[in-house]
Amino acid sequence: MSSSSGTTIHRSPRLMRLHESDARAIRIELATGLLASVPSIAPKFLYDALGSRLFAAITDLSEYYPTRTEAAIFRTHRNAIAAAVGEGCTLVDLGAGNCEKAASLFDALRPTRYVAIDISADYLADALDYLQFRHPALDLLGVGMDFSTTFNLPDEANVDACVVFYPGSSIGNFTPQAAEKFLRQVRLAAKGGGLLIGVDLNKPSEILEPAYDDALGVTAAFNRNMLTVANRLLGANFEVADFRHVAFFNRVESRIEMHLEAVRDASVRWPDAAANSSQDSTQESVRVFRAGERIHTENSYKYTPDNFAALLRRAGYTRITKWTDADEWFGVFWADG
């Protein structure tokens, strides 16, 4: 866009922040997970602005094969993907992060509108500013939102027959049953459009486990940062040094599990989560973690191509196309109908 003086003016993309509004519900969710007999923190709490930057660093690690394998599938099959998806869509990116994956497909898909959704709204705002700078004419909308329980797009997203883009195998964070329910909601929200989704596939644990427990300790920092997120959102007093990162492949469930394990007894306190604000609270909750006790922080389910296609069918999709790399480490699926 140019002003009358000839100076180029870059507009800032609109960002709707729908997530942070319910701080009390967020506190209750965190407290409920921490007080459960098997304590957990949902993986969405991995992603504050620092967590998002740490995840971006993970994607550069030699051990972390998913990002580069998926990117290679997009490059190799770019024409076939464009032919299946079609040009000129509204592209709705779920868990957009730095928006780089979607941007790598802009030349092939030529979207008229890009709607980027992410729980990590500050990080998304920066990513969208940079994207608008590189694509000044593209209509961009950011939505800071948590889609883990129900998936509804705001009216402003205006997404008739849109293409939903869900890369990075984030679908693996849901149990297969929850993934089916979520994808059914996604199919309805796309109003006759389709889904382009990336899924991590089964492979030996010698390849899987280092991807979630790298030698530099970046994934460990990413996981442990969740405690600082809990401290900020819940008003808790976790000491990060009291917990270590644990990741392993659970073959029975076909999933990588990430945990935070107490290295010594740790007594963690926070103000009553149900109070209207953490300052209003006079009561406290306490959870003692014994040395060796774990907080479950993430699952990442791994599928076979056939299992995942079956899941897409159960979610209601009738036409499914699949692309993989030569080793079948990762799958990209286009589903519509």
The minimum distance between CB 86 and ligand SAM, in angstroms, equals: 21
Which of 200, 242 has the CB closer to ligand SAM? 200
**Residue 224, both tokens:** 């442990």
Residue 98 identity (one-letter amino acid): N
In 3D, which of 332, 321, 317 has the Cα closest to residue 187?
Answer: 317
# binding residues, ligand SAM (CB under 6 A): 20
Residue 304 identity (one-letter amino acid): T
Site for ligand SAM contains 47 (CB under 6 A): yes
Which residue among 29, 40, 41, 44 contacts ligand SAM (CB under 6 A)? 44
Q: Distance of alpha carbon 268 from its chain centroid, rounded?
A: 27
Scanning the chain, the segments in alpha helix (DSSP H) are: 23-35, 49-58, 65-76, 78-85, 100-109, 121-134, 176-189, 205-211, 218-234, 305-314
> Which of the residues 265 through 304 are near ligand SAM (CB under 6 A)?
none
Site for ligand SAM contains 52 (CB under 6 A): yes
84 phi/psi in degrees, rounded to 5: -70, -45
- Per-residue interface string for the shown chain with ligand SAM, residues 141-180, x marking contact by CB under 6 A: ----xxxx------------------xx-x----------
**Residue 265, both tokens:** 């007894």
Site for ligand SAM contains 95 (CB under 6 A): yes
Site for ligand SAM contains 255 (CB under 6 A): no
The minimum distance between CB 200 and ligand SAM, in angstroms, equals: 10
Residues 73 and 330: beta-carbon distance below 8 Å: yes
The minimum distance between CB 41 and ligand SAM, in angstroms, equals: 12
Residues in contact with ligand SAM by the rule CB under 6 A: 44, 47, 52, 55, 59, 67, 95-97, 101, 118-120, 145-148, 167-168, 170
